[in-house]
């Protein structure tokens, strides 16, 4: 019998622990590894193997600490650097994961596990082209590598190649039929392709293989949203949060679902998780002044209300400045440069600041989209007094004169917006942008309604090109007036909109502008609606002048266009009848 702590005794324990770990007896193996480390705290193999075991158990922080201790003893071990890269990727530390993968490859050229982990790190750092190249290098060396095929699909999705992503997952699944992550990644790509039923089936295959797979539960919830099954989506988010209570992505998705369902109190409380999301966290502002969420009196205090996210968000939530001012606060509002001139005289604002400029001293701050939580907004208390945004009188008069010179007085004057912003560098936004937008050609049945003078409100070179191309084959589109080159900011756009009878827009900032001005606005709304438009409504508690035209099925814009064309024809006839009386 070996003496406790002797080399022979340690070797015996190590063989026992490895055998237990290989047979899946992880708890028992961990006990033996810790027994070794109690006797030999700097035992390299016990440290790195216990670190690997911790990764198997998804205890990544603990595993990282153990692997780092092992590398302090012997930094020349490529496999340990690679495992450390894997663990760092798992907790979102992609910069460090990349460095560790590079060290592993430097120690062992062509090390396929490290190449795979390097690709995951590059994808996490929003470098999908490099990530794809890394996965393909790994697969060239080891074609039967299911993890690399599955991870390759993520890079392909980030590059907008969803069909190829599905095929890559199929290769992974052919090699390992019960590979839960590959089934889930396959479902993600199918969701990008607007195939929610197929996505649901793949998520369910992932969960059949691993019922504790929190990401799959979360993403299945998103697919249920695509199918207009919001109660089922909430149930999925609850399952995911039971497994990973601190998942910011799941809390975020739950927030959006609650807001869509009209539960604003719970939804806006959950919406605060946005600051822990990887995409949004870097934009969180750090101030010496405390965050105000409605729990402190503001009488005689100065508060900074600051814009976040998109221009439409600022246009929608700047209305809260007046409510905060009524609490006795001196309100400083910081907004994007494109909105500064428009919001110069916004009610409740004592000082207006443009993002990037120096700010005055203040006692509290609050991001604009936290104000509904701070002021306890529910559907029945939405501050919907419109208009709260106004065109500048002189600019509006300029456009009125220009329109009167170009358009018969009897014509119905309608502004058109057919596409939202395009943010290809952010996959989740790219997907939403694609779903809410279309080409101007799709607007043809609307543009062909007689008795209407249309005005393009769609800015940008791409819009001009699209409209120009349409005019080559569609006679009605040749009558669309495009004066957008004269619109330098939202104050200019507001002045033009002020002289229109109606705005027809996809879900983008111009729709918010029209609603805030109390201008009639018809909004083309996708089935997986933005939370602010809620569910099953043709109206909006945020904008009394808005009318929503909803997709009956995901991607079905034809039905929406036809409904708007009918409504527009009816409006023209009604106006003509009224004019003839």
| Eight-class DSSP state of 2 | P
The alpha helices in 74-145, defined as continuous H runs, are: 78-90, 94-107, 112-124, 128-141
**Which has the minimum average pLDDT: 7-16, 216-225, 315-324, 432-441?**
7-16
What predicted TM-score, i.e. pTM, was given to this entire model? 0.89
User: What's the pLDDT score for residue 23?
Assistant: 77
The candidate with the shortest Cα–Cα distance to 497, out of 574, 389, 581, 350, is 389
Alpha carbons within 13 angstroms on the beta-carbon side of residue 198 total 12
Is the distance from CB of 452 to CB of 565 less than 8 angstroms?
no
pLDDT tens by residue, 139-166: 999 999 999 999 999 999 999 999 999 9
User: What's the pLDDT score for residue 26?
Assistant: 73
**Which has the minimum average pLDDT: 13-22, 117-126, 242-251, 455-464?**
13-22
pLDDT of 568 over the 50 cut = yes
Pairing of β 521-525 and β 330-335: unpaired
Structure tokens at 22: 């290989």
Domains along the chain?
288-381 (3.40.50), 393-580 (3.40.50.2000)
Average pLDDT over residues 530-550: 96
pLDDT tens by residue, 278-318: 888 888 999 999 999 999 999 999 999 999 999 999 999 99
Mean pLDDT score across all residues of the chain: 92
Q: What's the rounded Cα separation, in Å, for the pair 106 and 95?
A: 17
User: What's the pLDDT score for residue 70?
Assistant: 87
N-to-C CA span, the chain = 112
**Which has the minimum average pLDDT: 21-35, 312-326, 549-563?**
21-35
Q: Give 125-145 as a DSSP string.
A: TT-HHHHHHHHHHHHHH-SS-
| Eight-class DSSP state of 481 | B
pLDDT tens by residue, 499-512: 999 999 999 999 99
pLDDT of 423 over the 70 cut = no
Burial of 344 (0-12, 13-18, 19+ CB in 10 A): exposed
pLDDT of 66 over the 90 cut = no
Collapsing DSSP to helix, strand or coil, 413 comes out as strand
pLDDT tens by residue, 517-528: 999 999 999 999
Considering the chain, what percentage of its residues have pLDDT values greater than 70? 96
Q: Which of residues 572 and 52 earns the better pLDDT score?
A: 572
Collapsing DSSP to helix, strand or coil, 332 comes out as strand
The candidate with the shortest Cα–Cα distance to 522, out of 496, 543, 541, is 543
Average pLDDT over residues 174-186: 97
User: What's the pLDDT score for residue 1?
Assistant: 45
Reply yes or no: is the peptide bond before residue 387 cis, omega within 30 of 0: yes
User: What's the pLDDT score for residue 15?
Assistant: 79
């Amino acid at each position: 019998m070996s003496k406790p702590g002797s080399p022979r005794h340690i070797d015996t324990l190590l063989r026992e622990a490895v055998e237990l770990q290989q047979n899946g007896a992880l708890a028992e193996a961990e006990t033996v590894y810790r027994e070794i480390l109690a006797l030999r705290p700097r035992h390299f193999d016990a440290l790195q193997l216990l670190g690997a075991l911790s990764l198997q158990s998804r205890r990544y922080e603990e595993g990282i600490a153990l692997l780092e201790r092992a590398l302090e003893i012997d930094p020349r071990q490529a496999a340990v650097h690679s495992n450390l890269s894997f663990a760092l990727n798992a907790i979102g530390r992609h910069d460090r994961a990349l460095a560790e993968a590079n060290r592993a490859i430097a120690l062992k050229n062509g090390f396929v596990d490290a190449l795979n982990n390097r690709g995951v790190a590059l994808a996490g750092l929003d470098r999908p082209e490099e990530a794809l190249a890394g996965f393909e290098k790994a697969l060239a060396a080891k074609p039967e590598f299911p993890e690399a095929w599955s991870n390759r699909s993520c890079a392909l999705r980030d590059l907008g190649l969803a069909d190829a992503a599905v095929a890559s997952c199929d290769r992974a699944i052919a090699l390992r039929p019960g590979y839960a992550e590959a089934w889930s990644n396959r479902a993600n790509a199918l969701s990008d392709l607007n195939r929610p039923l197929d996505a649901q089936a793949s998520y369910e295959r992932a969960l059949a293989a691993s019922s504790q797979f929190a990401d799959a539960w979360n993403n299945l919830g998103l697919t249920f949203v695509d199918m207009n099954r919001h109660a089922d989506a909430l149930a999925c988010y609850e399952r995911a949060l039971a497994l990973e209570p601190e998942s910011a992505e799941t809390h975020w998705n739950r927030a959006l679902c609650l807001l869509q369902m009209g539960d604003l109190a719970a939804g806006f409380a959950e919406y605060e998780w946005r600051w822990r999301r990887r995409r949004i966290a870097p934009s969180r502002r750090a101030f010496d002044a405390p965050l105000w969420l409605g729990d402190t009196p503001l009488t005689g205090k100065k508060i900074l209300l600051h814009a976040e996210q998109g221009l439409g968000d600022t246009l929608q939530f700047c209305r809260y400045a007046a409510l905060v001012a009524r609490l006795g606060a001196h309100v400083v509002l910081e907004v994007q440069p494109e909105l500064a001139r428009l919001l110069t005289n916004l009610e409740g604002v004592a000082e207006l600041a443009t993002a990037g400029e120096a700010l005055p001293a203040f006692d509290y701050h609050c991001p604009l989209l936290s104000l509904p939580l701070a002021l306890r907004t529910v559907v029945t208390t939405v501050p919907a007094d419109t208009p709260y945004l106004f065109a500048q009188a002189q600019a509006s008069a300029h456009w009125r004169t220009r329109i009167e010179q170009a358009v018969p007085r009897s014509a119905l004057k309608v502004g058109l917006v057919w596409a939202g912003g395009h943010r290809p560098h952010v996959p989740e936004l790219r997907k939403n942008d694609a779903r809410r937008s279309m080409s101007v050609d799709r607007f043809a049945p609307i543009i062909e309604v007689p008795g209407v003078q249309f005005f393009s409100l769609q800015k940008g070179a791409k819009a001009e090109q699209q409209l120009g191309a349409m005019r080559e084959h569609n006679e009605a589109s040749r009558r669309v007036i495009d004066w957008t080159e004269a619109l330098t900011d939202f104050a200019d756009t507001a002045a033009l909109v002020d002289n229109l009878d109606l705005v027809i827009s996809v879900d983008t900032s111009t729709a918010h502008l029209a609603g805030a001005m109390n201008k009639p606005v018809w909004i083309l709304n996708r089935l997986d609606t933005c939370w602010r438009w809620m569910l099953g409504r043709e109206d909006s508690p945020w904008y009394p002048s808005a009318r929503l035209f909803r997709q009956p099925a995901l991607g079905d814009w034809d039905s929406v266009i036809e409904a708007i064309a009918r409504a527009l024809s009816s409006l023209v006839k009604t106006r003509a009848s009224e004019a003839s009386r």
